Amino acid sequence: MELKNDLFLKAAKGEQVSRVPVWMMRQAGRILPEYRKVREQAGSFIKLATTPEMAAEVTIQPVDILGVDAAIIFSDILVVPEAMGLPYEMLEAKGPNFPKTIHTQADIDALVVPDPEDQLSYVLQALDIVKKDLAGRVPLIGFAGAPFTIFCYMVEGKGSKTFSLAKKMLYSEPTLAHQLLQKITDTTIAYLKAQLAHGADLVQIFDSWAGILSPDQYSEFSSPYISQICDAITTHPVTVFAKGAYFAREEIGKMNCEVVGLDWNMNIAESRKLIPNKTLQGNMDPCVLYASFSEIEKHTVAMLDAFGKQRYIANLGHGVYPDTDPEKVKCFIETVKAY
Ligand SMILES: Cc1c2[nH]c(c1CCC(=O)O)Cc1[nH]c(c(CCC(=O)O)c1C)Cc1[nH]c(c(CCC(=O)O)c1C)Cc1[nH]c(c(C)c1CCC(=O)O)C2
């Protein structure tokens, strides 16, 4: 199926575009009343994520309602640990929780490297439906967590400001940590390849907790595993988004990926210098969307001026916050499109 709007993919591949493409991390979610309705029907986040028809419906909502230039498959990075043998629950107002966590060699040995067509078939079915229903309107983004970020949840068992339990393993049991990271990496490569086989046009790797590592630890425990994934995916473009890893921009810029995501702590001009010859994505502070319409326009235009029109995909510097007014989101998207 030929794409009617291929701005996002063209920009990702470094081709000339007639205008800057735009989408938002977490665009499929609680900002939209239409999402909350389907979420209520499903009864729980996990039920929604594991029911392909419903997941497909909320994936397409932001394309129809917000007018973004790409869809991102509705799922979660935590489906990977689940498929490896660590089920999770999503606690209301608290976030993810893993009743069982990883601490010993025996724990790691008990994990499987699953066949995605088997344990993750519900995500692949959702991709099939979205691809068909989008009918080429916009490209479809697949995703997974970076191995280090998934490691954080598998060891810590829940969200944390410091992830000190997970980091403890890096310092006290580095050999075990590397074994676990490799198992996650093997799973992630097979999973992302399956998403691409089921119609994803690009895959994004979310290293949401990169910023808790020192530069040396990042080079030892995170970047080599992301590099393995980038090297294994040769058929489609890849985006690496390492939140908080301003110190690793040069290193990430050398990876075999086409796009690098930036958060709002990262200076745009400096990032262009540190990451030459790649497309950049980002990076407005999601809190700008709490401001007035005129402030939002001002900040969006300033961001566009700083990035330039080519080799650039407009986005926020992290996921949109759930209490953001969808009209403010539309203002951001329309300002990019009119630029
Ligand atoms: C760290 C991480 C997670 N999940 C994800 C990350 C990496 C990106 C980032 O750093 O934000 C990725 C993710 N999670 C979700 C998507 C869907 C696609 C999209 O629109 O971007 C994506 C890309 C849906 C979701 N994942 C989650 C929700 C909210 C749950 C709900 O609707 O009840 C959604 C829409 C739940 C989730 N999932 C996760 C947490 C910590 C939480 C709870 C926090 C919260 O409530 O926002 C883990």
In this predicted model, what pLDDT tens digit does every residue of 254-305 receive, in sequence order?
Answer: 999 999 999 999 999 999 999 999 999 999 999 999 999 999 999 999 999 9
Ligand 1 atom with the shortest distance to the CA of 78:
48
In the prediction, which pLDDT does 2 show?
A: 87
**Which residues are identified as catalytic?**
26, 30, 39, 76, 153
Residue 1: the pLDDT is: 75
- What is the pLDDT, as a whole number, of residue 20? 98
Substitution site in 77, 97, 150, 283 for ligand 1 pocket (most atoms within 8 Å of beta carbon): 77
Q: What are φ and ψ of residue 128, in 5° steps? A: -60, -45
Burial of 56 (0-12, 13-18, 19+ CB in 10 A): buried
Give the whole-number percent of the chain exceeding pLDDT 90. Answer: 99
Q: So what's the ipTM on this one? A: 0.93
Residue 74 CA, ligand 1 centroid: distance in Å: 9
Neighbours of 264 (CB within 10 A): 17
> Quick one: which atom of ligand 1 is closest to the CA of 49?
24
Q: Which residue owns the Cα nearest ligand 1 atom 27?
A: 76
CB 320, CB 329: distance < 8 Å: yes
Q: Does this model's pTM top 0.90? A: yes
Report the share of the chain in percent with pLDDT over 70: 100
39 has pLDDT over 90: yes
The confidence score (pLDDT) of residue 8 equals 98
Nearest residue (by CA) to ligand 1, atom 30, is: 45
Ligand-binding site membership of 136 (annotated)? no
Residue 25 alpha carbon, nearest atom of ligand 1: 21
Local confidence band at 93 (pLDDT 50, 70, 90 cut-offs)? confident
Query: Looking at the DSSP assignment, which residues form a beta bridge with residue 238?
Result: 203
Residue 247 is classified by DSSP as: G
The whole-number average pLDDT for the span 179-184 is: 98
How far apart are the CA of 277 and the centre of ligand 1, in A?
A: 30
Q: Locate the domains of the chain by residue range.
A: 7-338
Strand arrangement, sheet containing 259-261: 71-72, 140-145, 202-207, 238-242, 259-261, 279-284, 312-316
Q: Please check the confidence at residue 194 and state whether its pLDDT lies above 80.
A: yes
- Residue 251 confidence (pLDDT) above 80: yes
Q: Is 324 in the pocket of ligand 1 (CB under 6 A)?
A: no
pLDDT in tens, 124-178: 999 999 999 999 999 999 999 999 999 999 999 999 999 999 999 999 999 999 9
Contacts of 333 by beta carbon, 8 Å cutoff, 6+ apart:
22, 24, 66, 67, 68
- State the CATH architecture for 7-338: Alpha-Beta Barrel (3.20)
Q: Give, to the nearest 10 degrees, the angle between helix 164-172 and helix 147-156.
A: 110
